[in-house]
Each structure stands twice: as C-alpha cells, then as structure tokens.
Amino acid sequence: MPSALPNPDRWYTAAELAAMRLPDIPGTKQGINAAASRQSWPSRPRQGRGGGREYPVSALPPAARAALARREMAVEAPPPAVVAAERGQRDPADMRDATRSCMDARAALCGEVDRLRLEYGLSERQAAQALVDQARAGQMPAHLARMVPAANARRGTSGSRVLSLRSVQRWLAARAAGDVTALAPAEETPREAPAWAFPLMKLYARPQKPSLAACLEWWPQDAPVAAPSYDQARRFIGSLGAIAKHRGRVGPRDLKRFRALALRSFDHLLPGDVYTSDGHRHDREVAHPLDPSRPKRPEIISVLDVSTRAWVGWSAWMDEAEWLVAAALRTAVVGAGIPAIWYVDNGCGFKNRAHNDPVTGLMARLGITIRHSIPYNSQARGVIERFHQTGLIAPARQATAYVGHDMDQEARQLAFKAGRKDIKTYGHSPIIQPWDAFLTWVEDCRARYNNRPHSSLPRIRDPETGKMRHRTPAEQWVALLPSADDLGVVPPRLSEAEARDLFRPHEIRTVRRAWVQLGGRKYFSQTLDDLDMHGREVRVEYDPRDMGRVWIRDLDGRLVCEAAENGNVRPYFNDDDVQEARARRATAQDAMALRDESAAPVLLAEPAPPAPRALTADEAAAKERLAAEMAAPPKRDETPKERWWRAHQTLEAHAAGRPVDAEALRWARGYSQTPEYRSHEAALEEWGADIFLSGLSGGQVSA
C-alpha cells in the first residue's frame, strides 16, 4: 500500500473507547484513563476543543484489538447517531459565501473518501478513517488540508482543528440521503429584536439626534422593560440599515440621501435642447459697481447646456432678481442660441410673471418651454449644483480673501476687518475685488471650465499627448452640433440688437441739465437737452457687464436716447493752447539763462537798514529784570500739602490781626472752600500738628 495511506496504528480517546464496548477494557471513560495510567499506555494530547489524551490501538489488550479489527473490516452502515437528518433541496445561489465554501469543502473531502475506497478497496469507514489519520498526521495533500477549516464550519483562526471520523461519516450520510446541497450547514436564522429595541428607538429616533448614552440616561425608571447596556444598544443600532437608523433623526428630505437614486441619461440630447440655470453667492466680497464703499458678495447666475455641460451664459449683480436671470439668459441666447427647455428651480428670480406670463412673458416671446424642478429636490438638478463646486467655488478658494463656509472663521473675520479699515482710510482695499476685475475673473473661469475635460462626457484620445481623456464641454458642443444641423434643430441665435430690448435692468432717475447719475457714474446725451427734459424722471437701463453707456426711456417705455459715461466732459483748456503756453514758457526760461544779469539796470534800490535806537532808563531796567529772571533757577512746583499750609498760615495770621497781603488773603479764602483744603484740615485734627506737619520743611513750619 502506498505511503499515502494512514498508519494502521490509529488513536482514540477514552470516551471513544468506552463507547465501543471492547472486551478486556473498562466500559467507562474514567476506568479507561485509570487502566492506561496503571498499565503505562502511550498517549498524546488530543487536538481540538476540550483537550484530553488519545491512546493508540497498539496499547489495547489483544482481545480488544481483535474486536476492533473485526468491526473495521466489516462493511457496516454508519450508526444512526451520525446520520444527518434529511434536508430539503436548497439553492446554492441563496446561500452565503461562507455556507457555500463549507459545502464545497465537505464535498471535496467526501470525494477523497470515495477515491480511497476505489483505489485501495477499503470500506467507507476505513477510507474515512484513513482520511482522518492523514489529516492528523499532516500527510494530507495541501489543497485538501486547506479545505479542512472551511469544512469544520467552526469559528476561530488558530487552524488547530482537524477532521474527526464522526464528522466525515455524518457528511457521507448526509450526501447519501440527499444531494450535495445537503452538506451545507444550517444558516443562522435572523434573531428577533429584543424587547427593549422598540423603547430604545422611540428615544433614539428624534430630530434632536440624542446620543446612545443620553437615550439610556433618559430611560424611564418604571418602564416594563429594563434598559440594555451601552454595548448592547450600540451593537443593535449598528445592525440596522441606513434608513432605519436615520428615520426620525432626519426629515424626509435628508432621508433621500439613503434611498434609491435614479440616474438621468442625456445621451439623446443635442446642444440647445435643455438649458439649466441657478444662482450662486460669490465666495468673495466685491466692490459695489454703483457705490464702491459698500462691498458685498454678488450673486452669479450661470447657464449650462445639459447635453454638452457647456457654460453658455452668466450674469452677476448683488441680488438674484428677475432681470438678473434675464441678463444671464441674454448672454446665453446671443452666444449659444435659444434653448428648447429652460429647466430651473422655483426661486423668485426664475418663477415670476415677467418670465412666465403666457402672452407677454419672456419665455413666451422666445418660444422657450419652462420646467421647474420639485421643491427641496436639489438632487434632480445635480448638473448645475455640481458645476458650482468646479466652476466657481474651487477658483474662488485660491484667493486670500475667500469667505466660503469652509474658510477658517478667525481668518475670515480678520479679512473682513482689514477690508473695512482700508475702505475707511483709503477708499479702496486690495482685499475687496473691484467690480471690473470681478467680471474679468468670472469670464476667465468660464473659459477654463469650457476647455477642461469633464468626467461625464465621452472619452477620446488626446491628439497632442496620445493619452485617453474625457472631452471638454467646448469639444462636445462642436462634436454634437453637426447632428443637430442634420435634424434641423440647431438653436437659433439672437443678435445683440434684438436681445437688448428683451433683457435690461433699469433705475428711475431725474435728468439734470442733460445729465443722469447712476451711482457714482454720470451719463450725458445732447438729446436730453434738445427735448428739454431737465427735471423730468426717466427710466435708465444699463448692462451690468458694460457700465460705459446707458439707455434712457421715458416712463412709458419709449426709447429716448443712448447716453455715454462722461459724454459732455470738456478739457479745461484745449490741448493746443496748453502746448503753446508750455513752449512760450520754455523759450522765456532759455532767454533768461543767456541774459547778463550784471548789465541789467537797477530799477529799485534797496533801502538802508535803520540805525539802532538808545533805550530809556525804564526799558533798560525792565531788560535787566528779564535777564535776571531768565538766569534764575526754575522754581520747584508746590505740593498740595505745601499749598494747604500756605493758605492755613495766611488765614491764621489774618485771624490774629497780623497784616496780610490782600491778594494772598483772597486766594486763601477761595482755596479754603476746596475739598483739598478740607481734607488736609481733617488730617491735621486727626493726627495732630507734630505728626502731620513732619513732612514740611523747617522754614515753612516755623513761619
């Protein structure tokens, strides 16, 4: 027999030998262990759970070995205890991966038993025992040895478990009773929710989003069900699905983030079929075009073509209004064409009478079909929402004065204060973006976006690098335009002149001497003077992207004229006159440089200085006194205590009848009414003259 067969000296535990009821050995586990110890049977540690010792067949008495050999040679059916119960047919597709792997491993091991039976003429039990002995001796082929842990279907990663004869016999019996699916272990049935699950979810599923610790702390003391431990509650919440876990903690709108998502296909659309638009508050402060001292974050209205993702138009102002949306649509219809469908939200800038009126509305005049998205369903307009991140927010984040919601709050506040301080001091600030620079920045962002590969567009091979990449929106527009031309659905374009009467914001202003003022800008037209419109109110229409001119209409909407900024500004003097005067001045300077000043006649002689006058006696005495006062050292300032003492002595001398200077007496009487004098008098009474007057010089005290 080849060496691959197991060693005939097999090993059994005391419990297995006791169950066999062999002759000449005890019939209990304890008796067999005692006999083995008494007779010094060889043994080895048993592998697997439970431990214990195993004994070889060669250690048994001869009668026991013979009986065991007869049993093994006889072809017996497996004992009923090891025959698995018949299972119904199971579909492997419904099994878990672990269950399917266990079934396959058991089937492979049973197939190895069949091979041993056929190759060596063994009984089923002998072949099964040979397989078990191979596994215990480590002589099993590597591919079968790797299947043993999966076939055992036991948890743990130690890999110390091996096959047992009973397990192999049970698998063989299960396969004989059914098919290969009978080898699959029974899967765990879903456990019922614990009794405390419903009260826990009532506390947990609240919009305040309490923590698990708070829910357990709020558990009622008189509740019919005891509160679970924190770990039990944590494991239960973790086992829930996303919707069940968040229901009640978030509203139906936020719950959409966890529900099924329907993707929209735009492969059937052509350029100009659908335009979508939305507003975005710029993440940087910009100087107001009409009043630069009032910076603000403007609203940017962008228009995108859905089929190509091209950014076809935009407008910007300080608020989202109907005229601002109309201005964005004007740039789109002039630059790209009139759309068939205008897909926007329900904001006041998009849903209003000026746009939607069936007769006079803007959409009716252009033949555009307007479609509004469902309120609070921004997922349906992900094209424009995602565009804001790439087209506007990402470029704005590069600026130092970025004020988006993800900007550091402290840095944002410092930039705000610095900008306001600069405006107050200088009238402008490098932090505040000028309006014209802002318009240029948006147009640059539009150019970069339209020429940047877009992940939702088809992939092509780059003609320069040879690498695969996505198409840019501009390339997609050019690629799809011939298809639209073949079908005759190329979006028609409006000329600039046709579009002007459709879209233009306006302000009411009063004409002053043929001038109108809009913010800090002034506009002039001679037509206003010719029509004698001084003092009349007019409607001044303007283009936020071109503030160099305005269109003036009367209050009934009739066009009066087009006025230019600073249209009647004249130079203070003509350039020719100024140049001629400059040349004349230069000629005179050259002539003066060549002239001999010594030969020039004296037109007016300078008068001789007067002789000094002699001082009188009084003037000489006053001069001497002034010199003496200036030469004397400066007087030391009088302290409050010295000032009080001088007034005190003056008043005492007057009370005693001694002569006192009238001016000094008047000052002392006035000073005696002050809090300073009264406080010193109170201190003199409290401390006495010896202590209180110790700080004064001797001369002052004796005086």
The 10s digit of each residue's pLDDT in 105-125 is 999 999 999 988 888 888 889
Binning pLDDT at 50, 70 and 90, where does residue 27 land?
Answer: confident
- pLDDT, position 309: 94
pLDDT number for residue 610: 72
Q: Which domains does the chain have, with CATH numbers?
A: 11-74 (1.10.10.10), 82-183 (no CATH), 197-258 (no CATH), 274-497 (3.30.420.10), 504-565 (2.30.30.130), 640-702 (no CATH)
Task: For 531-581, write each residue's pLDDT tens digit.
Answer: 888 989 998 888 776 778 888 888 887 888 989 988 878 788 888 888 888
Answer whether 0.75 is exceeded by the pTM: no
Residue 654, token pair as written in the block:
């007057």
- Average pLDDT (494-522) is 78
Tokens, residue 153:
């279907």
| Position 480 pLDDT exceeds 80 | yes
Of 65-74, 252-261, 351-360, 462-471, give the lowest mean pLDDT range.
351-360
Q: pLDDT for 41-57, tens place per residue?
A: 888 887 766 678 888 88
Q: Residue 184: how many CB atoms within 10 A of its CB?
A: 22
Q: What region does 687 belong to: left with phi over 0, alpha with psi -120 to 50, or beta?
A: alpha
CA distance 167 to 433: 80
Report pLDDT digits (tens) over 620-647. 888 888 888 777 776 667 888 888 888 9
Please state at what angle helix 197-204 crosses helix 230-239, rounded to 10 degrees: 80
Q: What is the pLDDT of residue 77?
A: 39
What pLDDT was estimated at residue 395?
Answer: 92
Range scoring the smallest mean pLDDT among 159-173, 260-274, 366-380, 480-494: 366-380
pLDDT value, residue 481: 92
Helix (H) or strand (E) holding 165: helix 165-177
Task: Read off the pLDDT band of 592 (50, 70, 90).
Answer: confident
User: Model confidence at 78, in pLDDT bands (50, 70, 90)?
Assistant: very low
Helix then strand then coil, in percent of the chain rounded to 5, is 45, 10, 40
Checking if the pLDDT of 127 tops 60, the result is yes
Tally of CA atoms within 13 A in the half-sphere of 423 that contains its CB: 20
In which band, very low, low, confident or very high, does the pLDDT at 81 lie, cut at 50, 70 and 90?
very low
State the pLDDT at residue 596: 54
Mean pLDDT of 580-601: 75
pLDDT over threshold 90, residue 290 = no
Give the model's pLDDT for residue 48: 66
Q: Who has greater pLDDT, 10 or 390? A: 390
* Position 353 pLDDT exceeds 70: no
Please give the mean pLDDT across all residues of the chain: 82
Tokens read off for 649? 């002595």
Instruction: Identify the pLDDT of residue 8.
Output: 45
Residue type, 8: P
Tell me the pLDDT band of 313, cut-offs 50, 70 and 90: very high
| CA-to-CA dists, residue 471 to 303, 461, 480, 531, angstroms | 19, 9, 12, 57
CA-CA distance, 176 to 216, in Å (whole number)? Answer: 53
Higher-pLDDT residue of 424, 187 = 424
Cα 598 to the center of its chain, rounded Å: 84
Band (pLDDT 50/70/90 cuts) for residue 448 is very high
The C-alpha angle 151, 156, 162, rounded to 5 degrees, equals 45
- What φ, ψ does residue 371 adopt, rounded to 5°? -130, 130
In the chain, the percentage of residues whose pLDDT exceeds 70 is 85
